[in-house]
């Protein structure tokens, strides 16, 4: 089997009859993918949205579709920093009911003890009722086209109107050198609430290419926290589309620590008056890791607010990328958009590329962005050192302070403490 | 006091008449046939009596251009340009062997420049400044009409100081070694589509050489005028500042009011050696097209300066009010240690104008510094984009950049966009970028209106305040002109 785009297309041709859902949609996605190819691959024109991230290494990697798992999913799961809350577990892109817990038996036959069988939310499988939703742009985003072509499983999570589902964990574990294309849909009814915590981890040289479509109805609030701690040789690509209706809130935080190459792309559309989106992120990279956080916030309704704080801490030969666009459509008056991205270069070989963009077609708006790039402040280092703090510790303090602003945006204390732990773990590994 | 009243009157007259530079001058022209091919390039080269190497250089550029595609990445839209439908050479017909002095210049031409307020008579100075109040505010002017330089003033005075300021076609003949040494070293022939086109067909422009240790005794200025129908204007400017020298250079431009679009694709190259300083100011006022977006100049310009020497400095200041489309990114390559690059820009778009403009600061040298201040104002149905790049290369230790981009929207049918690229590969380099977008604050307007200013005047005042950081970088003559232009450009955008 070929590698790269050709390999994926061959696979599609061989499995297309067995795939669930709308086959015409998949065929259209395959056509789009055939035209564009993998960004940075040998075919096609350079794509502006992928200016700083090339998937050439991905295109050259051979993924073994039917490889036997080389690692124990249970062991990997046991080592994850799990919260005491319901969880939906995917292993190699397929839902594993036996590892998922605390879900109502009706929605998850054979699942673990249903200690909190609640009607606060329901889960269905994409494999059973493929839901491609309406938010994605497979003709525009090549990796979404690839997902649309090959998606086999995923979670369809629904929180009915007026319900608070608390925390739900969505976990992805990879155990073999294959490629996975999970497809998730999350729907919050009017005034519903949910804190969705996603964890991605695994072992091996695999590709996880997730697409999630999120619908936040009027007055609903979704907190979406993600911890990406994939294997060192893995590729992680995740594209999220969120549509937020009037008075709704999409509040997301992404922490990228793992993977050889990671691209997190978020498209948030504020389509009802008074909606809000917070897209915060931190990337901590070492070695020759490449981490790309790309976001597009579209204000299409008046009186909406968006906030973004993105921090990159780059050590070794790592390369961080931030691209963030705020779009304000004609008529989206009284928009309030703010975006801040900062990068800290801890090594002479690290690189940061950032592109914050404003695209504005309404006049009564307040939009701004800021960007800074530099190393640790010498004065602050001196201050700590002169008070007897050892150098390594002083650096740790300053880096943690640098990240605080982004982490502070996470309001749930349990989740914030959990994230801070992950950051501390990363720092210890770096210092060691 | 009298001068103030006069200025006010001028502003008034200008404001009421819209684009007042839109007249056409009837002058007998020598025009090459339409179309672009090697023969046309040979014709241009022979008309200019160029040496063989220059023709070879042009043909190389033409070959490169043929293999290139028009860039698509800018936020501008226009119908495809038919490059074969243009005249690539148009010059006023010479009476004999060409004017030896200003007295021999065609009076019709002199009258036109008079009408534009550009003094081609020596001793005269630009409008808006009281001659007695400022000592030695003399400006040497090189006037470029369609494709050729028609007059260069103060050549004698400059020669005494050792400064060379002449049309580039003359420099190619008179100082071939200098031109050959520097031409195309900052903007190579195949740099981009429009630069390649320019390299193949440029007909004139200015050449400036400031020798070691010389501070140019007066401001140098080039005034560009497109007159003939269906011509493209392709001028080439090359400025070389040797060690410890200084020059301030001004550039202005206008064109007649026409229904069809005209192409202007210029290239400007600056070279600054150790401790040299070049200050380059532009007031760009090409015909922007009418209120419905018909006509106007396509301004596709490549401007780049190389700070080759240690502590060298290149400063770009631009006020962009004209053109149907502006595609222009005056840049600095900061090679020298502790070299400095600056970019100050005001871009105003109204009606259906489109501007995609900004800068590139490429930091190569240790301790290099750059400042970018960009003010974009969009009104009417226009689109105004700032597009910029700040790149810190691994060797740019302790380099520094500060960028501020502010956009002002007037009306709800226009667009303002900011697209900065920041790339850093050196941890000791510091980059700071800020951008804001807003409209004119109601309280500021109210404050002015309450004190009896009309809404239009109030907007003019606030816009001038918004642009102050950039306008103060302009030489005085230009600052006055620029303020007037801002008022004219925004006319009809309020209420």
Q: How many whole angstroms separate alpha carbon B340 and alpha carbon A269? A: 41
Q: What is the mean pLDDT of residues B247-266?
A: 80
What's the CA angle centered on B253, arms B247 and B259, to 5 degrees? 165
CB-based contact, B314 to chain A, within 8 Å? no
How high is the pLDDT of residue A108? Answer: 47
State residue A401's pLDDT score: 92
Residue A406 shares a structural domain with residue A265: no
> Which chain B residues contact residue A340 at CB under 8 A?
none
Same domain, A267 and A380: no
Interchain CB distance below 8 Å, A368 and B423? no
Segment (H or E) for A3: none
A365 in contact with B, Cβ within 8 Å: yes
Contact residues, chain A, for B410 at CB < 8 Å = 363
Expressed as residue numbers, the domain containing A380 is 376-432
Q: Is residue A345 included in any domain, yes or no? A: no
Q: What is the pLDDT of residue B124?
A: 41
Asked if pLDDT for residue B37 goes beyond 70, the answer is: yes
| Across A250-265, average pLDDT | 96
Determine how many CB atoms are found less than 10 A away from the CB of residue A390.
Answer: 10
Is B422 in Cβ contact with A373 (below 8 Å)? yes
Interface contact A225, partner B, CB < 8 A: no
A408 part of a folded domain: yes
Please give the angle made by the CA atoms of A416, A224 and A366, to the nearest 5 degrees.
95
**Residue A326 domain flag:** no
Which positions 392-431 of B are in contact with A (Cβ < 8 Å)?
392, 394, 407, 409-431
C-alpha angle with apex A266: A261 to A269, nearest 5 degrees?
170
Structure tokens at A269: 């559309």
Distance of CA B379 to CAs A337, B410, B412, B485, Å?
Answer: 21, 5, 8, 14
Q: What is the mean pLDDT of residues A117-146?
A: 84
Evaluate whether B241 touches B247 at the Cβ level (below 8 Å).
Answer: yes
At residue B112, the pLDDT reads 66
Is there a single domain that holds both residue A160 and residue A42?
Answer: yes
For residues A331-352, give the mean pLDDT. 95
Residues 6 or more apart whose Cβ sits within 8 Å of residue B365: B307, B310, B334, B335, B336, B337, B338, B339, B395, B396, B399
Whole-number pLDDT of residue B96: 45
Q: Is A125:A156 a contact under the CB 8 Å cutoff?
A: yes
pLDDT of B331 > 90? The answer is yes
Locate the chain B residue with the closest alpha carbon to A367. B437
Residue A380 and residue A264 share a domain: no
Q: Minimum mean pLDDT among A291-300, B203-212, B223-232: which range?
A: B223-232
Q: Percent of chain A beyond pLDDT 70? A: 94
- The Cα–Cα gap between B189 and B200 comes to 8
Give the separation between CA B139 and CA B220, rounded to whole angstroms.
6
Contacts with B377 from chain A: Cβ below 8 Å: none
CA dihedral A370, A375, A380, A385 (to 10 degrees): 160
8 Å CB contact of B433 and A355? no
> What DSSP character marks residue A140?
T
Q: Please indicate, yes or no, if residue A355 is contained in any of the structural domains.
A: no
Residues A123 and A261 in one domain: yes
Compare all CA atoms of chain B with the CA of A317 and give the residue at the minimum distance. B425
Distance from CA of B237 to the nearest CA of A (A): 32
How near does any CA of chain B get to the CA of A348, in Å?
6
Distance CA A229, CA A289 (A): 12
Q: Is residue B283 scored above 90 in pLDDT?
A: no
Contact between chains at B415 and A353 (C-beta distance less than 8 A): no
Final residue belonging to a domain, choices A242, A272, A302: A272
Number of H helices, E strands in chain A: 8, 20
* Higher-pLDDT residue of A261, B47: A261
Nearest chain B residue to A362, by CA: B412
Q: How close is the nearest chain A Cα to the Cα of B232, in Å? A: 30
Which whole number is the average pLDDT over B238-254? Answer: 91
Are the Cβ atoms of B433 and A361 closer than 8 angstroms?
no
Residue A268 and residue A383 in one domain: no
> What is the pLDDT confidence band of residue B280, given thresholds at 50, 70 and 90?
very high
Asked if A86 and A169 count as a contact pair (C-beta separation under 8 A), the reply is yes
Q: How much is the average pLDDT of A253-282?
A: 96
- The answer, yes or no, to whether residue A14 has pLDDT greater than 80, is yes
CB A270 within 8 A of CB A298: yes
B378 pLDDT more than 60: yes
Does residue A289 fall inside a structural domain?
Answer: no
Give the contacts of A74 (CB within 8 A, at least 6 positions apart): A99
pLDDT score of A105: 45
Which residues of chain A have a CB within 8 Å of the CB of B416?
A: 358, 360
In a domain, A225, yes or no: yes
Joined tokens for residue B169: 């076609």
Each residue's pLDDT tens digit, B44-72: 899 889 999 999 999 999 999 999 999 88
- The predicted pLDDT at position B9 comes to 46
Q: Provide, as residue numbers in chain A, all residues whose Cβ is less than 8 Å from the Cβ of B414.
A: 361, 363
Q: What is the pLDDT of residue B53?
A: 94
The pLDDT of residue B18 is 63
Q: What is the CB neighbour count within 10 angstroms for residue B341? A: 29
CB contact under 8 A, B434 and A367: no
Q: Do A34 and A179 fall within a single domain?
A: yes
Place of tokens 């925390």: A167
Q: Which residue is it, tokens 């009607």?
A: A119
Q: Which residues of A touch B433 (CB under 8 A)?
A: 356, 369-372
Cα torsion A27, A236, A345, A339: sign = positive
- Average pLDDT score over residue span A271-298: 96
Domain annotation covers residue A162: yes
pLDDT tens, position by position, B291-303: 787 888 889 999 9
> Distance between CA atoms of B455 and A378, rounded to whole angstroms?
50
| Region of B395 on the Ramachandran plot (φ > 0 left; ψ -120 to 50 alpha; else beta) | alpha
Q: Helix (H, G, I), strand (E, B), or coil: what is residue A152?
A: coil
Question: What pLDDT, on the 0 to 100 scale, is given for residue A55?
Answer: 93
Mean pLDDT of chain B: 83
Average pLDDT estimate for B228-235: 75
> Among the listed ranges A68-77, A197-206, A222-231, B210-219, which one has the minimum average pLDDT value?
A68-77
Secondary structure element (H or E) that encloses residue A105, with its range: none
Phi, psi for residue B338 in degrees, rounded to 5: 55, 25
* DSSP structure class, residue A17: G
Q: Convert the pLDDT of each residue in A85-97 to its tens digit.
A: 899 999 999 999 8
Interior angle at CA A233, CA A227 and CA A237, nearest 5: 50
A386 shares a domain with A253: no
A282 membership: H or E segment, kind and range:
strand A276-285
Residue B164 has pLDDT above 90, yes or no: yes
Q: Which of B409, B424, B426 sits opposite A360 (nearest CB)?
A: B409
pLDDT at B173: 92
Q: Are residues A260 and A408 in the same domain?
A: no
Mean predicted confidence (pLDDT) in A309-327:
96
Q: Between B85 and B22, where is the model more confident?
A: B85
Distance CA A330, CA A335 (A): 11
Tokens 């999570």 belong to which residue? A157
| Lowest mean pLDDT segment, chosen from A164-178, A374-388, B22-36 | B22-36
When mean pLDDT is compared over A406-410, B70-74, B428-432, the highest value belongs to: B428-432
Q: Of the candidates A248, A272, A296, which is a domain's last residue?
A: A272
Q: What is the 3-state secondary structure (H, E, C) of chain B?
A: CHHHHHHHHHHHHHHHHCCCCCCCCCCCEEECCECCCHHHHHHHHHHCCCCHHHHHHHHHHHHHHHCCCCCCCCCCCCCCCCHHHCECCEEECCCCCCCCCHHHCCHHHHHHHHHHCCCCCCCCCCCCCCCCCCCCCCEEEEEEECCEEEEECCHHHHHHHCCEEEEHHHHHHHCHHHHHHHCCCCCCCCCCHHHHHHHHHCCECEEEEECCCCECCCEEEEEEECCCCCECECEEEEEEECCCCEEEEEEEEECCCCCCEEEECCEEEEEECCCCEEEEEEEECCCCCCCCCCCEEEEEEEEEEEECCCCCEEEEEEEECCCCEEEECCEEEECCCCCEEEEEEEEEECCCCEEEECCEEEECCCCCEEEEEEEEEEECCCEEEEEEEEEECCCCCCCEEEEEEEEEEECCCCEEEEEEEEEECCCCCEEEEEEEEEECCHHHHHHHHHCCCCHHHHHHHHHHHHCHHHHCCCCHHHHHHHHHHHHHHCCCCCC
Boundary (domain end) residue, out of A250, A272, A294 = A272
Reference A197, options A153, A245, A165; nearest CA is A165
Q: From the list A48, A330, A359, which residue is nearest B73 (CB)? A: A48
Instruction: Examine the pLDDT at B422 and tell me if it is beyond 50.
Output: yes
CB A86 within 8 A of CB A103: yes
Kindly indicate the confidence band of residue B97, based on its pLDDT and cuts at 50, 70 and 90.
very low
Chain B residues 80-139 with a CB less than 8 Å from chain A: none
Residue B396 predicted with pLDDT over 90? yes
User: Which pLDDT value is given to residue B17?
Assistant: 44
In chain A, how many domains are there? 2
CB contact under 8 A, B430 and A373: yes
Contact B145, B109 (CB under 8 A): yes
- List Cβ neighbours of A71 (8 Å cut-off, separation of 6 or more): A175, A176, A202, A203, A204
- Quote the pLDDT of residue B104: 60
The pTM is what?
0.88
Residue with tokens 């007055």: A219
Q: Give the mean model confidence (pLDDT) for residues A271-290.
A: 96
User: How far A325 CA sits from the closest chain B CA (Å)?
Assistant: 9
Instruction: Give the total residue count for chain A.
Output: 432
Q: B400 — phi, psi (to 5°)?
A: -145, 135
Comparing alpha-carbon positions, the chain B residue that sits nearest to A46 is: B73
Query: What does the DSSP 8-state code read for residue A101?
Result: B
B389 in contact with A, Cβ within 8 Å = no
Query: Among residues B126, B275, B264, which one has the least CA distance to residue B214?
Result: B275
**Which residues of chain B neighbour A370 with C-beta distances below 8 Å?**
432-435
Q: Angle of helix A23-36 relative to helix A142-150, nearest 10 degrees?
A: 140
Predicted confidence (pLDDT) per residue in B104-124, tens digit: 666 766 676 666 666 555 544
Q: Is residue B134 predicted with pLDDT exceeding 70? A: no
Q: Report the pLDDT averaged over residues A99-126.
A: 61
Confidence of residue B456 (pLDDT cuts 50, 70, 90): confident
Can you state the angle between helices A391-407 and A378-386, rounded to 10 degrees? 120
Which among A350, A367, A370 has CB closest to B437?
A367
Q: Do residues A109 and A247 share a domain?
A: yes
List the single residue in A350, A354, A369 with the smallest CB-CB distance to B435: A369
Question: In which band, very low, low, confident or very high, does the pLDDT at A128 lie, cut at 50, 70 and 90?
Answer: confident
Are A370 and B434 an interchain contact pair (Cβ–Cβ within 8 Å)?
Answer: yes
- Mean pLDDT of the region B318-347: 94
- The predicted structure's pLDDT at residue B138: 63
Contact across the interface for A357 and B418, Cβ inside 8 Å: yes
In a 10 Å sphere around its CB, with 0-12 CB exposed, 13-18 middle and 19+ buried, how is residue B229 labelled?
middle
- pLDDT value at position A118? 54
In terms of CA atoms, which chain B residue is nearest residue A350?
B425
């Amino acid at each position: 089997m070929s590698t790269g785009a050709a390999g994926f297309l061959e696979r599609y041709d061989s499995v297309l009859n067995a795939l669930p859902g709308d086959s015409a949609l998949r065929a259209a996605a395959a056509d789009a993918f055939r035209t564009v190819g993998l960004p940075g691959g040998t075919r096609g024109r350079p794509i502006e949205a992928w200016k700083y991230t090339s998937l050439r290494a991905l295109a050259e990697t051979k993924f073994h579709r039917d490889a036997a798992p080389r690692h124990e999913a249970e062991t990997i799961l046991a080592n994850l920093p799990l919260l005491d809350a319901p969880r939906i577990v995917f292993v190699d892109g397929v839902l594993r009911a036996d590892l998922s817990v605390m879900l109502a038996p009706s929605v998850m036959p054979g699942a673990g003890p249903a200690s909190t069988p609640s009607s606060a939310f329901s889960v269905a499988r994409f494999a059973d009722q493929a839901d491609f939703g309406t938010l994605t742009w497979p003709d525009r985003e090549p990796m979404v086209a690839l997902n649309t072509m090959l998606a086999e499983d995923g979670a369809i999570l629904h929180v009915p109107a007026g319900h608070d589902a608390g925390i739900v964990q969505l976990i992805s574990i990879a155990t073999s050198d294959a490629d996975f294309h999970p497809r998730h849909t999350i729907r919050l009814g009017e005034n519903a609430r949910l804190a969705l915590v996603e964890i991605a981890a695994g072992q091996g040289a695999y590709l996880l290419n997730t697409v999630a479509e999120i619908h936040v109805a009027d007055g609903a609030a979704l907190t979406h926290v993600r911890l990406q701690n994939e294997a060192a040789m893995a590729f992680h690509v995740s594209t999220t589309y969120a549509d937020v209706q009037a008075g709704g809130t999409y509040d997301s935080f992404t922490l990228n620590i793992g993977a050889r190459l990671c691209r997190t792309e978020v498209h948030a559309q504020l389509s009802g008056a008074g909606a809000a989106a917070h897209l915060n992120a931190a990337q901590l990279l070492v070695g020759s890791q490449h981490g790309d956080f790309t976001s597009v916030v579209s204000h299409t309704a008046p009186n909406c607010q968006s906030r973004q704080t993105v921090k990159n801490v780059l050590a070794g030969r790592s390369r961080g990328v931030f691209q963030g666009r705020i779009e304000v459509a004609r008529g989206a008056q009284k928009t309030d958009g703010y975006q801040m991205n900062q990068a800290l270069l801890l090594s002479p070989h690290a690189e940061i590329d950032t592109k914050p963009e404003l695209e504005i077609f309404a006049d009564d708006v307040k939009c701004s962005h800021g960007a800074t790039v530099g190393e640790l402040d010498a004065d602050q280092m001196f201050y700590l050192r002169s008070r007897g703090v050892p150098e390594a510790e002083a650096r740790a303090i300053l880096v943690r302070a640098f990240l605080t602003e982004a982490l502070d945006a996470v309001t749930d204390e349990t989740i914030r403490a959990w994230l801070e732990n992950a950051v501390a773990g990363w720092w210890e590994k770096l210092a060691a | 006091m009298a001068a103030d009243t006069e200025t006010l009157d001028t502003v008034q007259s200008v404001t009421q008449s819209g684009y007042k530079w839109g007249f056409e001058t009837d002058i007998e022209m020598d025009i090459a046939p339409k179309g672009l091919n090697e023969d046309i390039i040979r014709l241009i080269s022979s008309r200019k009596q160029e040496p063989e190497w220059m023709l070879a250089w042009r043909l190389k550029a033409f070959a490169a251009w043929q293999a290139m595609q028009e860039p698509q990445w800018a936020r501008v839209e226009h119908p495809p340009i038919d490059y074969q439908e243009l005249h690539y050479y148009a010059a006023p017909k010479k009476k004999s062997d060409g004017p030896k002095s200003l007295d021999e210049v065609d009076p019709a031409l002199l009258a036109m420049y008079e009408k534009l307020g550009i003094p081609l008579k020596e001793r005269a100075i630009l409008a808006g400044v009281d001659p007695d109040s400022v000592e030695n505010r003399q400006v040497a002017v090189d006037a470029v009409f369609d494709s050729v330089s028609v007059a260069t003033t103060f050549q004698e005075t400059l020669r005494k100081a050792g400064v060379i300021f002449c049309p580039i076609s003359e420099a190619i003949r008179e100082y071939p070694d200098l031109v050959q040494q520097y031409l195309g070293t900052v903007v190579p022939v195949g740099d981009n589509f429009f630069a390649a086109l320019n390299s193949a067909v440029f007909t004139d422009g200015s050449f400036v050489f400031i020798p070691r240790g010389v501070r140019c005794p007066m401001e140098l200025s080039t005034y560009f005028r497109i007159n003939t129908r269906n011509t493209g204007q392709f001028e080439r400017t090359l400025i070389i500042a040797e060690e410890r020298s200084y020059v301030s250079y001004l550039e202005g431009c206008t064109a007649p009011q026409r229904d069809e679009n005209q192409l202007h694709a210029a290239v400007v190259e600056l070279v600054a050696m150790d401790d040299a300083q070049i200050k380059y100011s532009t007031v760009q006022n090409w015909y922007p097209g009418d209120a419905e977006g018909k006509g106007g100049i396509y301004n596709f310009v490549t401007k780049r300066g190389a700070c080759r020497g240690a502590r060298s400095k290149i400063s770009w200041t631009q006020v962009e009010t004209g053109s149907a489309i502006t595609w222009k990114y005056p840049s600095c390559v900061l090679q020298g240690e502790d070299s400095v690059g600056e970019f100050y820009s005001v871009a105003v778009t109204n009606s259906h104008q489109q501007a995609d403009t900004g800068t590139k600061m490429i930091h190569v040298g240790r301790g290099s510094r750059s400042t970018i201040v960009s003010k974009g104002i969009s009104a009417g149905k226009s689109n105004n984009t700032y597009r910029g790049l700040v790149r810190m290369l691994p060797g740019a230790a302790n380099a520094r950049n500060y960028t501020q981009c502010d956009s002002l929207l007037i009306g709800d049918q226009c667009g303002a966009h900011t697209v900065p690229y920041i790339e850093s590969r050196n941890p000791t380099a510091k980059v700071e970028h800020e951008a804001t977008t807003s409209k004119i604050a109601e309280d500021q307007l109210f404050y002015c209106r309450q004190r009896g200013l009309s809404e239009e005047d109030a907007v003019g005042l606030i816009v001038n305040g918004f642009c102050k950081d950039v306008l103060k970088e302009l030489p005085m003559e230009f600052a006055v002109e620029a303020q007037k232009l801002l008022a004219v450009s925004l006319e009809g955008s309020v209420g």
